[in-house]
Structure 1
Amino acid sequence: MHGGARDLKSETASYCVSSSDIASEFTANLDNSNKKYLEKAVAITGTITKLQDSLVTLDHSIICVLKNPDSQIKKNQTVVIKGRVVGYDDLLGELKLDQCFISK
């Protein structure tokens, strides 16, 4: 885990964005996006394209590690996931978040 554990449920998200918008920002300018989002709490809206235990993938490009697996979420469901941005893999084109949970 990067930067230590925080209580993201009690934090206000620094940014509320769609999965396509944040992915486009990182693709267009990695350095600026890292300065803007890295280690920040963000709320990302997207469609679940993959579910595996505590890993949720939104729109094939946002990888979220859930703090606690949620049995109520399903593939192809549109959700808002709040988590901390820990990095972008420009080789795979994937944004990684940890300490995530489904925001209500």
Structure 2
Amino acid sequence: MKKTLIIPLLAISFVGLSSYYYVMHGGSRDLKSETASYCVSSSDIASEFTANLDNSNKKYLEKAVAITGTITKLQDSLVTLDHSIICVLKNPDSQIKKNQTVVIKGRVVGYDDLLGELKLDQCFISK
């Protein structure tokens, strides 16, 4: 009787843990080795999302992009380019400064049309 309960319980536990691991770690990519699908300025990509959200989502969402812009806000691992592009750095870079023009490569994860902010994750400063 114990064996008939233990085997299904172990199988369910394995599936649950595997699912959890996939959700938490399965979407991570190595963007440094990927070629950017698009190289754009922060003003150009922000204008595209403002003009047509659906087309911009189809074009950029989940893609690696390289965005050129000026750092307007810097807080730990968050970098804001030109007040409208929010980038979450994978590894914070102590050498970057506010008002510095940089190229940031990252994955587009979404656009907040209420705040007018484009969000990227897994970002790093391209040198």
Is TM-score (shorter-chain normalized) higher than 0.5?
yes
Task: Name the structure with the higher helix share.
Answer: 2
Aligned residues: 104
Change (3 A) 1:3 1:30: farther
The answer to which structure, 1 or 2, has the higher relative contact order (CA under 8 A, 6+ apart) is 1
User: Aligned equivalents of 1:2 and 1:27: distance in 2?
Assistant: 31
Deviates more, 1:1-10 or 1:88-97: 1-10
User: Aligned equivalents of 1:23 and 1:2: distance in 2?
Assistant: 29
Name the TM-score, length of structure 2 as normaliser: 0.80
User: Aligned equivalents of 1:32 and 1:6: distance in 2?
Assistant: 24
1:74 to 2:97 alignment: yes
Larger Rg: 2
What value does the CA root-mean-square deviation take over the aligned residues?
Answer: 1.4
- Unpaired stretches in structure 1, ≥5 consecutive residues: none
Name the TM-score, length of structure 1 as normaliser: 0.97
Change (3 A) 1:2 1:77: farther
Structure 1 position 35, deviation (Å): 0.0
> What do the CA deviations read for 1:12-53 (whole angstroms, capped 9, x no partner)?
000000000000000000000000000000000000000000
- Spell out structure 1 runs of 4+ moving beyond 3 A: none
Structure 1 position 2, deviation (Å): 9.7
- Secondary structure of 1:34's match? helix
- Unpaired stretches in structure 2, ≥5 consecutive residues: 1-23
Change (3 A) 1:31 1:86: same
Change (3 A) 1:4 1:31: same
